[in-house]
Amino acid sequence: MILSAKNLLVVLAGTSALAMAAPAGNQGQVVQITSSSDWCMMMPPTPGGGIAENEHRGIAFCTKENSSAPGAKVFPKGFIQSAHYVTGKDYVQVTGMIDPAQYQMSMTDRGGQFDNKAPTGSACANYKYYVNLIEPNDNRYCIRCCNNKSDCNTGKSTHGCSVVVPGDYSGSGSVTPTGPTSSGSNTATGTSTASATVSGSVQPTGTATVTGTASVATTTSSSTKTDMVTPTQTTSDAATTKKTLTLGAVLAFGMAILFA
């Protein structure tokens, strides 16, 4: 069948559109970055695999399924601890922290780099270049996709993420404030200690209790003193009686003399 020039142009246009829509790269080895919650990066194909040892066998893992990354897997639950998304003039990137244990990575693994050359045929959707490092020993990862090769520096992998892809490597939004909150809790603990000190101040109140005991003792002494008054009063009455008897005897003696 011979196509007219018009039909040929339509076919070429459709083919071109399909070519633009389909991401370059091998199935399962295409990464993409759309937002902090929708992105991908390269990882070892099996849990526990070393990063450097699998630079040529890496496969794409994503936060969720995305048509721009066909055949990619989903990150293990809890593996990504934080994701900081940044866009530049001709690049886009994501940096953050990981929990290596969630993919059985060794905490002594110093990491490695994935890029357009390793694994061969890998790519970043809608961008010409990409560079991607994972550093399990530092709980850190980074990925940047670029249109200009100069923005994706693949020649400094040994310098690590902080040099190759400068960015934010802090914990997630829920983890970052916890430091100050924990510190605040420590402050609260200090307050508790202060409360303990206040409790210590109660000791003088104990002293006041002793004073109260002294008052009770005083009261007891007063009671004893009152009890002692009774014999004193009794002694006074006896003396009065003695004086009365003596006076009576004198009068009786005097009358006896008068009548004698």
Nearest to 161 by CA among 96, 74, 103: 96
Q: Which amino acid is at 110?
A: R
Q: What is the pLDDT of residues 131-156, one digit of tens each?
A: 999 999 999 999 999 999 999 999 98
Asked if residue 254 and residue 153 are part of one domain, the reply reads: no
Q: Which residues contact 139 (CB under 8 A, 6 or more apart)?
A: 81, 97, 98, 99, 100
Give me the amino acid identity at 51: I
Question: Do 136 and 235 sit in the same domain of this protein?
Answer: no
**Helix residue ranges per DSSP H, 4-73:** 5-21
Q: Do 136 and 260 have their domain in common?
A: no
Domain that holds residue 137: 12-164
Domain end point (choices 122, 146, 164): 164
C-alpha distances in Å from residue 259, one per residue of 3, 247, 249, 250, 253:
187, 19, 16, 15, 10
The answer as to whether 255 is a domain residue is: yes
Most confident among 52-56, 157-161, 206-210 (mean pLDDT): 52-56
107, 100 contact by CB (below 8 A): yes
- Is 91 contained in some domain? yes
pLDDT score of 11 more than 70: no
40 domain residue, yes or no? yes
- Retrieve residue 251's tokens: 């009068």
What distance in Å separates the CA atoms of residue 253 and residue 206, rounded to the nearest whole number? 72
Would residue 181 count as lying in a domain?
A: no
| Nearest-angstrom CA–CA distance, 156 and 259 | 153
Longest dimension (CA), the chain: 192
> How does pLDDT run across 31-62, given as a tens digit for each residue?
999 999 999 999 999 999 999 999 999 999 99
Q: Rounded to 5 degrees, what are φ and ψ at 42? A: -80, 145
Written as six digits, the tokens of 21 are 């829509």
- β-bridge pairing 30-31 and 140-146: unpaired
pLDDT for 26: 86
State the pLDDT at residue 187.
34
Number of H helices, E strands in the chain: 4, 11
Give the total number of structural domains in the chain: 2
CA–CA gap between residue 257 and residue 252 (Å, rounded): 9
Are 80 and 146 found together in one domain? Answer: yes
Note the pLDDT of residue 214.
36
Question: Reduced to 3 states, what is the DSSP secondary structure of residue 25?
Answer: coil
Q: Are residues 140 and 61 in the same domain?
A: yes
Higher-confidence residue of 202 and 45: namely 45
Q: Are residues 149 and 259 in the same domain?
A: no
Residues 114 and 232 in one domain: no
- How far is residue 131's CA from residue 146's CA, in Å, rounded to a whole number? 9
The model's confidence at residue 170, banded by pLDDT at 50, 70 and 90, is: very high
- Is 232 in the same domain as 140? no
Decide which of 123, 142, 164 is a domain's last residue: 164
227 and 154 housed in the same domain: no
